Amino acid sequence: MGKFFLLQFPYQSHQEQYFRQSVFEYQILIKFPSFHQRYKEIKGFRLERGGLAFDPIFSDAIIFASLLALLSIGLTLTYITTRVPNFAHASFATIGVYVALIVTHVWGLSPYIAIPISFVISGIVAVLLYTFILKPLIRKGASQAIQMIATLAFDLVMIAMLNITADYIVKTYQITSREFSLRSYDFDFMGLPLIVIVAPITIAVLAITLHIILRKTKFGIAMRAATENSDLAGTVGVNVKLIYLVSWLMGGGFAGIAGALMSLWFQGDPNLGPMLIPSIFAASIAGGFLSIYGAIAGGILVGLTEVLGTRFLAGEFGAWLIAYRPLIPLIFIVVTLFLAPKGLAGINWSKLRRNGSRT
């Protein structure tokens, strides 16, 4: 097989400038030809592999939408227990990014090995946030605003710790620990980076697994009961405390998985969390915040719109619009709260279909 080389191209057109000025900046990787494959740069930054042309913008959209859906599921799992939006959720994903960096550069293993490790570490950190910060505040009757501020404070501590970790890595191992990407460590599958396939498969598998757990198992039924009415569930013997711990473990773990996969396509940095959190909240709000299925739909919708919408607007009106990409999730939040406060999950789709059939 050929070897990956990191190339940086001059950016001239609006389409080309997109890849440079995107919120998640990255460089193009060209794999020098092996015996049976050829990689060729063609107009519009398309990569031709043995006759297959694939625009990286679609890879960007598929990966970002899939991982955003995964992050939204995690945020929803934590929200349904405390009814408090967790502002530290995106930093759980950043933990996964740095786990992938350590696994790849320090341990010399595949970045995909970082997926289960990231789940465990990020999940444990989420449990610590719930157990030692939110749970005592809830016990004392703290308001929702106080709890939100507590998650924000925890997030600031996490960002500081991640910056310390990044400095330690670069000083100890002499490797880049800021604005890095592990894309060159990914595998090639049928002419595409493996992450393009793994990201949507991961969200599909986890969504199906979660559906089976919630609908077909006693634990899932108990979890649904505890999140809908914890007092009533407790009176019938449901261990509400355990349910909440598992919800936070899964929520943080899903974010860790998303972060580990994100490092294979987007740039990793200790301050990645603040850039991600508006998109995560927009996806969760669009999905209804209390619906797992709505979180998936919201994540895919916001992710595709943010990437492809920015690309379209930049091509039509100029690359200067790239700088305003962070406004897209904020617009989603405002529009959703105005038109459908309960999100996609709160829309009566059957009624809409009946009205549509009448017309």
Ranges of each domain in the chain: 59-351
Query: Which pLDDT belongs to residue 358?
Result: 59
Lowest mean pLDDT, pick from 33-47, 213-227, 268-282: 33-47
Q: Is the pLDDT at 112 greater than 70, yes or no?
A: yes
Lowest mean pLDDT, pick from 14-18, 57-61, 161-165, 195-199: 14-18
CATH 3.90.1720 corresponds to the domain 59-351? no
Q: What is the overall mean pLDDT for the chain? A: 82
Pairwise CA distance, residues 30 & 47, whole Å: 8
**pLDDT-above-90 percentage for the chain:** 57
Does residue 342 or residue 15 have the better pLDDT? 342
Query: Which pLDDT belongs to residue 23?
Result: 36
The length of the chain in residues reads: 359
Lowest mean pLDDT, pick from 25-29, 99-103, 137-141, 170-174: 25-29
Q: Is the pLDDT at 59 greater than 50, yes or no?
A: yes
Query: Which pLDDT belongs to residue 350?
Result: 53
Classify 49 as helix, strand or coil.
strand
Query: Which pLDDT belongs to residue 355?
Result: 56
Pairwise CA distance, residues 197 & 200, whole Å: 6
Query: Which pLDDT belongs to residue 276?
Result: 94
Q: Is the pLDDT at 82 greater than 90, yes or no?
A: no
pLDDT in tens, 227-254: 888 888 888 888 999 999 999 999 999 9
Q: Is the pLDDT at 345 greater than 50, yes or no?
A: yes
Q: How confident is the model at residue 40 (pLDDT cuts 50, 70, 90)?
A: very low
Does residue 254 or residue 53 have the better pLDDT? 254
Query: Which pLDDT belongs to residue 44?
Result: 35
Pairwise CA distance, residues 27 & 288, whole Å: 35
Lowest mean pLDDT, pick from 150-154, 232-236, 264-268: 232-236
Q: How confident is the model at residue 333 (pLDDT cuts 50, 70, 90)?
A: confident
Does residue 197 or residue 18 have the better pLDDT? 197
Mean pLDDT over 273-291 rounds to 91
Residue type, 49: R
Give bridge partners of residue 5 from the DSSP assignment: 30
- DSSP line for 156-202: HHHHHHHHHHHHHHHHHH----SSB--GGGS-EETTEEHHHHHHHHH
Mean pLDDT over 204-233 rounds to 90
Query: Which pLDDT belongs to residue 347?
Result: 55
Contact between 302 and 329 (Cβ < 8 Å): yes
Q: Is the pLDDT at 4 greater than 80, yes or no?
A: no
Mean pLDDT over 217-236 rounds to 88
Q: Is the pLDDT at 346 greater than 80, yes or no?
A: no
Does residue 125 or residue 348 have the better pLDDT? 125
Mean pLDDT over 25-48 rounds to 34
Query: Which pLDDT belongs to residue 75?
Result: 95
Mean pLDDT over 15-40 rounds to 34
Task: Report the predicted TM-score, pTM, of the whole model to 2 decimal places.
Answer: 0.81
Contact between 255 and 306 (Cβ < 8 Å): no
Cα 67 to Cα 228, 277, 355, distances in angstroms:
27, 13, 35
Query: Which pLDDT belongs to residue 208?
Result: 94
Q: Is the pLDDT at 22 greater than 70, yes or no?
A: no
Classify 52 as helix, strand or coil.
strand
